[in-house]
Structure 1
């Protein structure tokens, strides 16, 4: 009887130890996870967190023809859940946050939603939770209504063609490319066990999480053979000296991942991020790097350098594991701007020289 009560308490949850012995807990339907370091499994605090999330996502009967109905049906679709064609777990969780945000209006009929009213929702979200969240709400609504239109739940997509709220001028560029001097300063400050992941990010443009999770079997004397987790796109790149040198300098370890922390265990993203921020802070204080340096900025760095070398967008797309050339253009946009402005400044200098008047020496 006691065992049955415990099973019912965690119904709808996946609770297990991963291959590294770390507890994991996921809400099966939404993919929402519990921080098992903060809430130890099977303790009272853990049970309270399970109850909180269960209540948050408790299903109620969605009214036909409403936003809630559309959300419920989309959330149960293959386009959302299927591991092959659906959204990644992280994206599912992010979408669920928007669905939770929209919960107060889920009983509103679909006919109520017009472009003007979604702009109103966007502006309200901006005032409450700022520009990034406001734009993300519109993005999710666009995907939701697009899915619904294809299935005759709605006649049109009212979230189409709504421009995003501009990025605030006061914010630094997100994930800007690193300068040559910044790359050299960071490499000089790294301890040996941080060399491999940084090298993979710096030279192969891997996402931080992809670099940290890369198994030893993904790399050989021929190079790297892996897939980008976010897009599922294959990445095949030859092994070359900077990466080979970083791997050779790394301390020996028995972890199944290529990269390991100072204890020889696989890195967690939070653990690596904590170590990285300590190093970055020291370098910022010393004036060796400028503010705004991020690990994801190394992807933009690789794309920028490749574009400056004259590589086409298709090549950059393959190196970075993007699904579209549009993303390759986005990641390398600084190189294109630099090329254009350099040419413009050079032309401007020539024009100024043409406009110079000859100095006439006075006669004696």
Structure 2
């Protein structure tokens, strides 16, 4: 899943329907490191968990990739899975490594993520999406199925988790997390896209109502509890955060999801500030790249490519008071360490934009 939406993917009439067909290979702990992938059918093969074997191709702009970046950081997998960051804009051939010297990823040695897809499936016919896990030795995509990929990071990569890594998918809350995702994914995560890419008034209004009914439900739920499930951060919070943090900056204006902003909903605004100030969340959020992507790439919506100067996002750094609701971010675990060198979000791309210089 990504924002890699070519013009041909967008409807000329009716509702926006996302292509959800992925390369759903799995990376599992039951295979010995160094072993070859098991299976013959792409999308059903299994690969071994192995430090250094894979590179996570992501983009700061994309909410789906942002989930994987947060999960990797919270679990302390930075030393085991390296990170390739594509730039925020792309052409019809999709994501490029134009942030790197010479426009080439220094580990994979490619200019376009498309090359890694073609190495796996020649003339791959679908969107070249992020996140994608790439086998470094063959420079070929293992999987771009973001949901299974993140679940495997949590459940299959446990031997390589950092000490104190939180349990993002606790067994006792598995059903509740799945129920929340079944509502939040179609009506909010993808709902903002259905709102913004609808080609007719009726589908736009239907999606609009879905988005704000879900936000109202979350507002009520979070008025009495610090996190969506249990007493610490879980995958449910990560999945919700990446949409909420983009809402006021992009979705409210660009996607016409404008009944109100998140900053105008007390519980959600406090919840968003709480998560944003938690290591792994705000320190992986790049507002400059987010705005560049949506306002430049989606030229069907914003044909002149003008990026709005606002809004002021420094409110994300203000006190939230959510500690009074109980719970702690990492439960019995601990916070991740500093952001690895080379993966830092520049201050001028963060919520500190507009604050006095330090």
TM bin (shorter chain): under 0.3
State TM-score, norm by structure 2. Answer: 0.26
Q: Which has the higher helix share?
A: 1
Radius of gyration: which is bigger?
1
State TM-score, norm by structure 1. Answer: 0.25
